[in-house]
Amino acid sequence: MERTWWKECVVYQIYPRSFKDSNGDGIGDLNGITEKLDYLKYLGIDVIWLSPVYESPNDDNGYDISDYQAIMREFGTMEDFDRMLDEAHKRGIRIVMDLVVNHTSDEHKWFIESRKSKDNPYRDYYIWRDPVNGAEPNNWGSCFSGSAWQMDEATGMYYLHMFSRKQPDLNWDNPKVRDEVFDMMTWWLEKGIDGFRMDVISLISKDPSFPDGDPGINGYASFNEPANGPHVHEYLQEMRERVLSKYDTLTVGECSGVTLEEAKKYASSDGKELSMVFQFEHMDVDAEGANKWTDKKMDLRDFKEILTKWQLGLHEIAWNSLYLQNHDQPRCVSRFGDDGQYWAESAKMLATCSHMMQGTPYVYQGEELGMTNVPFKTIEDFRDLDSINAFYELTEKGVYSEEEMLRRIRYKSRDNARSPFQWDSSENAGFSTGEPWMMVNPNYTSINAEEQMGNPESVFHYYKKLIELRKKYPIIVYGNYKLLLPEDKDLYVYERELEGEKLFVAANFSKNTRSLELPDEWKGNPTEILIHNYPDVQLADTLEIRPYEAFVLYMK
């Protein structure tokens, strides 16, 4: 297997709005990030994935871009960006930008032109269709509720928006659109950035016949309907040829709706498209069909089956990303662990289980502190249009009562991940001296970076150690993977192997104490405990594994 820096690195995702506010307006910004680079250096990460910082009217917090070559005023200036990039590079930290090119903002100059008239030179930059029998051209639903088609009065035609009405989809079949995107990417790469995380890149190529899909609980087909469309691989290969092949980059495609077979093409080790993809099957493990608004706990057996499929399926063919959360998901400790009695144990257990797999790990800001879901009270506490729209749509349609829907969005809303970073126990968690743009989680007085940096047993120091181990043991990056005990509903146990070295990873996803007999070759052999989340692990042929306990054994 070819060895490269982007397989060996650890990526840290920053959601700039909520990371660190440097000027007291309640909104995180670029200078705030620059201020905290030493913190990230100390944690040991190699790469920052920066969620969008481009000019945007903020309908979807920067994922609706009105100018790809300008910085959002709230976040600072291009000079601030250049300084941040420079300071990051000085510390050996690379910067990967979010590339949001499935759609633009409706306030982007291309769309302002496009909607003016049918013969405007920018008309074909977007996807326009005539009404069919006086209605939408098909039943596709927007990711953020309602139809994916919006009637535009000026020309009496619909435009497609797989996300909000203010995020019209670009028409990638138009070669001019590809030219524009590729030029813009080159401009950023020439500036010195180190790669791209590509927003919903699996959706860029639409089937021109626009077929209906299966309707979900709101009556519309899923926003994933266009995933892996007819020309997506061709367009990404063109992007590689014309842009990426000229630079040394990390590229990760956010590929909603991606299957294992498709991922083998997107992230193939022949290097024709992307370095790796984000797949979503383990994020859908607690969904009900296409409905993510559930509040049920996952079945660990499903989780193991999914991750094992990806570990084995991409081995030596493509490359995995490893993640348990991001800015679109609730906090992993609240979702897959226990954010009460076993908060620290379960946060460390989850990290162990994920970081010991084959692939490139992604840490989402605050995950390294075990930040939890937020105790939102009413719908007014939410900021995210996805959660707010879903609340009104599903309660108005009578799918759920208000109380029930509130319970579901409290558990699953992406706003859980977007509350301000908890730096210390001072007012507003040290995030801002002003009023934060969204509520701070009241548990900041006990869960914060300052406290954890001073405490060697903290979740923070555990993440730091996991990152150090990855640098020291190539088996963690490159070893093959083998699942043990697939039917066990509490324990996730797997082995790794590389050139005569072996790892044994055990993680208890439950409150039950369970006994686990080691496989024969681990019994009595000189093994080393690389990391464990309880202070006192005693090796024995049969181990009593305590609630949320996790450890990693190593043998040479």
Q: Which residues bind Ca ion (CB under 5 A)?
A: 21, 23, 25, 27, 29
Is 415 a binding residue for ligand GLC by CB under 6 A? The answer is no
For residues 129 and 157, is the Cβ–Cβ distance under 8 A? yes
Among 21, 55, 59, 60, binds ligand GLC (CB under 6 A): 60
* 3 state SS of 9: coil
Give the number of other Cβ atoms within 10 Å of residue 78's Cβ. 12
Between residues 97 and 100, which has the closer beta carbon with respect to ligand GLC?
100
Residue 129 CB contacts under 8 Å (≥ 6 apart), including other chains: 137, 149, 157, 158, 159, 160, 210
| Sign of the C-alpha dihedral computed for residues 469, 473, 479 and 483 taken in this order | negative
Q: Per the structure block, which two tokens stand in for 364?
A: 């989402």
C-alpha to C-alpha distance for 227 and 277, rounded to whole angstroms: 13
**Judging by beta carbons within 10 Å of its beta carbon (0-12, 13-18, 19+), is residue 401 exposed, middle or buried?**
exposed
- The verdict on whether 199 is a catalytic residue reads yes
Which residue's CB atom is positioned nearest to ligand GLC?
Answer: 63
Asked if residue 72 lies in contact with residue 28, where contact means CB atoms within 8 angstroms, the answer is no
Q: How many residues bind ligand GLC (CB under 6 A)?
A: 9
Q: Is 30 or 363 the residue whose CB approaches Ca ion more closely? A: 30
Supply the minimum distance, in Å, between the C-beta of residue 397 and ligand GLC. 22
- Which CB atom, from 21 or from 386, has the smaller least distance to Ca ion? 21
Instruction: Tell me which residues in 322-341 interact with ligand GLC (CB under 6 A).
Output: 327-328
> CB of 16: closest distance to Ca ion in angstroms?
9
153 is catalytic: no
DSSP line for 186-220? HHHHHHT--EEEETTGGGSS--TT-----B-TTSS
Yes or no: say if 479 and 358 are a contact pair by the CB < 8 Å rule: yes
Residue 364 identity (one-letter amino acid) = Y
Asked if 163 touches ligand GLC (CB under 6 A), the answer is yes
Task: Give the shortest CB-165-to-ligand GLC separation in angstroms.
Answer: 13
From CA 448, how far away is CA 461, in angstroms rounded?
A: 13
Q: With residue 179 as reference, give the H or E element that holds it.
A: helix 175-191
Q: Which of 59, 194, 199, 386 is catalytic?
A: 199
Q: Which residue number, 27 or 232, has a Cβ lying nearer to Ca ion? A: 27
Alpha helices in 9-91, H assignment, sequence order: 30-35, 37-43, 78-90
Residue 29 interacting with ligand GLC (CB under 6 A): no
Q: How far is the CB of 21 from Ca ion (least distance, A)?
A: 4
Pattern 95-124, ligand GLC, x by CB under 6 A: -----x------------------------
Nearer to ligand GLC, 166 or 355 (CB): 166
Partner from Ca ion, ligand GLC, none contacting 163, C-beta within 5 to 8 A by type: ligand GLC
* CB-closest chain residue to Ca ion: 29
| Closest distance of CB 509 from ligand GLC, Å | 26
* Identified binder of ligand GLC from the candidate list 9, 71, 93, 200, rule CB under 6 A: 200
Q: Which is nearer to ligand GLC, 7 or 327 (CB)?
A: 327
Applying CB under 6 A, among 6, 12, 63, 128 the residue interacting with ligand GLC is 63
Q: What character string, x for contact with ligand GLC (CB under 6 A) and - otherwise, covers 249-288?
A: -----x----------------------------------
Catalytic residue among 59, 169, 254, 345: 254
100 binds, among Ca ion, ligand GLC, none (CB under 5 to 8 A by kind): ligand GLC
Going through 34-148 in order, the beta strands assigned E by DSSP cover: 47-50, 54-55, 67-71, 94-99, 128-129
Q: Which is nearer to Ca ion, 17 or 502 (CB)?
A: 17
Q: In angstroms, rounded to a whole number, what is the distance separating the alpha carbons of residues 60 and 166?
A: 9
Cα separation, 426 vs 457, in Å, equals: 22
| Residues designated as active site | 199, 254
User: Which stretches of the chain bind ligand GLC, using CB under 6 A?
Assistant: 60, 63, 100, 163, 199-200, 254, 327-328
